[in-house]
Amino acid sequence: MTSSADLQKRAAGEAAAQLVKPGMTVGLGTGSTAAWFVKALAARGLDIRGVSTSQATEDLALSLGIPMVSLNEAGTLDLTVDGADEIGPGLSLIKGGGAALLREKLVWEASRRCVVIADHAKVVPTLGAFSLPIEVVAFGHLTTARRIADALVDCDITAISHLRERDGKPVLTDGGNLIYDAPCGVIADPSALADALKSITGVVDHGLFLDLADEALVAGPDGVQRLTR
């Protein structure tokens, strides 16, 4: 059975596909909402080039006939459309529930325009109820996790981050790194936390996407609403 959240994700993805124009180079996000966008985009049959944010999205896009280029080949992108785990004030985001945050951020930062798509349950007054994904290199990751714990304390966050596992094994990102999830609860100062995490050598990146989304297409029971910063 299709849930209302799935229908809303689909509506947001289909609305975003209408933003794409022929000739564009388009960043394709990762996750169930982004997959609806990719399907709707493929159905339009436009002459575009896609840049994927994960192997899963690359596979989906190619299976649907979207011509793909690497980020290196693309250089600057016209538009990127991607999902999010939380949409907070000023279109601050938590991303990385699908472990693709690093490639996502690389593609977002190379894009002239970034549009986040989501069902309305993702919109929150304060970031942090969704555990913050933090991508770390495998070498010395327990040491890095201790430094993450210190950084969280410095940001007045009481949280023990957990190594993400599936079927009893650590989840590996497309880049071969690990993910720690930090159940922050409330992130009062996302910028301070972002800076603190980025200053840790073993941290590759984190799921705080601040000042990156230009707009959001959020689907609810009454249709798709456009939010701007």
User: Under the criterion CB under 6 A, does residue 124 sit at the interface with ligand 5RP?
Assistant: no
Residue from 82, 86, 181, 205 that binds ligand 5RP (CB under 6 A)? 82
Applying CB under 6 A, does 123 fall inside the site for ligand 5RP?
A: no
Q: Does 98 bind ligand 5RP (CB under 6 A)?
A: yes
Task: Report the C-alpha gap between 91 and 123 in whole angstroms.
Answer: 9
Asked if residue 148 lies in contact with residue 161, where contact means CB atoms within 8 angstroms, the answer is: yes
Query: What tokens were used for 185?
Result: 């609860």
Interaction pattern, residues 18-37, with ligand 5RP; x per rule: CB under 6 A: -----------xxxxxx---
Site for ligand 5RP contains 96 (CB under 6 A): yes
Q: Does 6 bind ligand 5RP (CB under 6 A)?
A: no
The smaller minimum CB distance to ligand 5RP, of residues 1 and 142, is found at 1
- Which of the residues are catalytic? 104
Rounded distance between C-alpha atoms, residue 124 and residue 91, angstroms: 10
Q: 145 phi and psi, to 5 degrees?
A: -60, -35
User: CA gyration radius for the chain?
Assistant: 17
CA angle, corner 78, sides to 113 and 27, nearest 5?
A: 85
Among residues 51, 61, 87, 101, the one that binds ligand 5RP under rule CB under 6 A: 101
| Residue 8 interacting with ligand 5RP (CB under 6 A) | no
Using CB atoms within 10 A of its CB, is residue 47 exposed (0-12), middle (13-18) or buried (19+)?
exposed
| Cβ nearer to ligand 5RP, comparing 85 with 181 | 85
Residues that bind ligand 5RP (CB under 6 A): 9, 29-34, 82-85, 95-101, 104
